[in-house]
Chain A
Amino acid sequence: MKSNTRNLYLIPYVLWILLFVVAPILLILYYSFFDIEGQFTLGNYKKFFTPVYLRMTLSSFWYAFLITAFSLIIAYPTAYLLTKTKHKQLWLLLIILPTWINLLLKAYAFLGIFGTFGFANSFLELIGIGRKQLLFTDFSFVFVSVYIFIPFMVLPIYNALEKLNPSLVDAARDLGASWWTTFRRVVFPLTLDGVKSGCQAVFIPALSLFMITRLIAGNRVITLGTAIEQHFLVTQDWGMGSTIAVFLIIAMAIIMVATGNRK
């Protein structure tokens, strides 16, 4: 009887997984074996290993890495500071707040800010550096992406730091560890799980970014996500689009395993 009801509770979960996780992945795998005219082929996979797509893969990984690294560098001290403030919930809310605003609106706002006559350039001129091209550069692309992803990095790290037992830090200090050693040997290892899940939450979506690549980087940065969008919407080469998606899924699985918790 008891195990029966438990199985009953499992139904929504299993249905969900089957319909929205397993089935789509199988569909993508299925489509990746067809060419543009619906003939069975392995050509899509062969095409993926041509210089065009390999370079695209490499640059996707490079940008995703940059975005994750900068997010981490900014997010860790921020999260640390947050745990020390008086009105934690308020500050946390302020960091989450931008995620309530539509991504497209934020991207458009940056078009104005980084423009030749925008706010950022006026400031550069004011401090004597002079106008620079900001829009459509690698810098603006990474900057805006980091801005968009940072809440997803701050939250897990903040949670990990909150869970940290402060007496451990006190003990380390009592035993004569310097501030740096305490951080390196006690605080960081204990919050590593938060850092890992933060990195996953940033790196994986960053790998398949699109739209920002057009709006902010002016198609000067081409990621795998852009290519998938192109193949599905413009070329209607669903096979090639699916093949790229298959490789993205494999890459993500590898990252999940590599950064996963081995318990």
Chain B
Amino acid sequence: MKKLVQMFAAVFAVAMALLYLASHLNTTQGYSGDNTLTIYNWGDYIDPELIKKFEKETGIKVIYQTFDSNEAMMTKIAQGGTTFDVAVPSEYAINKMIEEDLLIPLDHSKLPNLKYINPRFLDLSFDPKNKYSIPYFWGTVGIVYNPEMLGGKKITSWNDLWDKDLRNQILLVDGAREVIGMGLNSLHYSLNDTNKAHLQEAKRKLGALTPNIKAIVGDEIKMLIANEEAAVGVVWSGDAAEIMSENEKLDYVVPKEGSNLWFDNMVIPKTAKNIEGAHKFINFMLDPKHAAQNAEYVGYSTPNQKALDYLPKEIANDKRFYPDLDSAQNLEVYENLGKRMLAYYNELFLEFKMHKK
């Protein structure tokens, strides 16, 4: 019994000591008080140098946290208990967050650098007049492929993926809207189609693609394609840029039937504690030089018109990543289809995954 008490006491003492140490470390690094800014962003989606620079310029300590899906991010913000000051959701998620009253309206007078943003990216249907959100990056969904592994073959369309020569060569991202969307696009339907007959048709068509699919994976897709584990991958444009910087043989194409055009925007969630600092941060990121530095690091396309002047010519003029949006090849933005339709998309995706070779 005495031993037991002693053991309890020892464990308790160690726990207290660790607790004290942790809080001590936090205070010495300025993690408490109101001079901090918590940013909630996608993984690997900002140049860390910029955070350092922001901290130096403003004296605000940045806490940086990451998420890997819009849904996970929304759940965390909706449930509270967090103090995220800035978050970076995609367009359909912003729409949903506005509906659910999770965002704080922005004060445009504190964001003078907004003038550098290409008007093409402002006042879009998911957030009219940019009351809640400011563009961060944009991009497309497309096909990254290795011409060498395909014997010099060129891929230009979604339907090229159904080619028998691509047996067991395709990696897909694990996203219901991306994969079902690919099926819809290949049949020339809209990415936001809610007609169940069309969706079933798309699923049947995807079923026929099964022999060509090697795997459906998450972020590992970048590593797998760069290592030539598979010749073809369906990915977001920025991932493609990152893969291509690692393996120069690869090429990226936005399929001619059309594809998804997406925007990730900065917002201030209801949970924010440092609203002043959040505006400062958004304005800091809108500065053309910072936006250019960030775009070069991350690989996605910047909506900042002025920033293009600071980017190396070969990036700014690369039509694969900065396609001409007005002649745009049927690029479509995801709409918020509602929970029920999203569930239906996911169900079809699950059935598609269960297709046996």
Contact = CB atoms under 8 A, between A and B. Distances in A.
Interface of A: 36-37, 52, 55-56, 108, 111, 115-117, 133, 135-136, 214-215, 217-220, 222, 227, 230-231, 233-237, 240
Contacts of A52: 347, 350-351, 354
A116 B228 contact: yes
A218 B351 contact: no
Interface string B69-92: 101100100000000000000000
Interface stretch (B103-111, B150-158, B213-221): B213-221
A135 B229 contact: yes
B168 interface: yes
Contacts of B229: 115-116, 135
Contact of A37 (B214, B216, B217, B339): B339
A56 B354 contact: yes
B227 A219 contact: no
Contact of B339 (A56, A230, A236): A236
Nearest to B346: A235
Given A37-B340, A233-B71, A111 B350 contact: no
Contact of A230 (B72, B171, B220, B346): B346
B275 interface: no
B214 A136 contact: yes
Contacts of A111: 220, 223-224
Contact of B217 (A55, A215, A227): A215
Size band of the interface chain B makes with A: 20 to 34
Interface centre among A56, A220, A236 (most CB of B within 10 A): A220
Contacts of A56: 354
A36 B215 contact: no
Given A233-B69, A233-B72, A237-B343, A115 B227 contact: yes
Given A37-B339, A234-B346, A236-B339, A218 B227 contact: no
Given A37-B340, A136-B214, A219-B353, A234 B176 contact: yes
B174 interface: yes
Interface string B132-176: 000000000000000000000000000000000000100100101
A135 to B, nearest CB: 7
Nearest to B68: A233
Most buried by A among B69, B75, B224, B353: B353
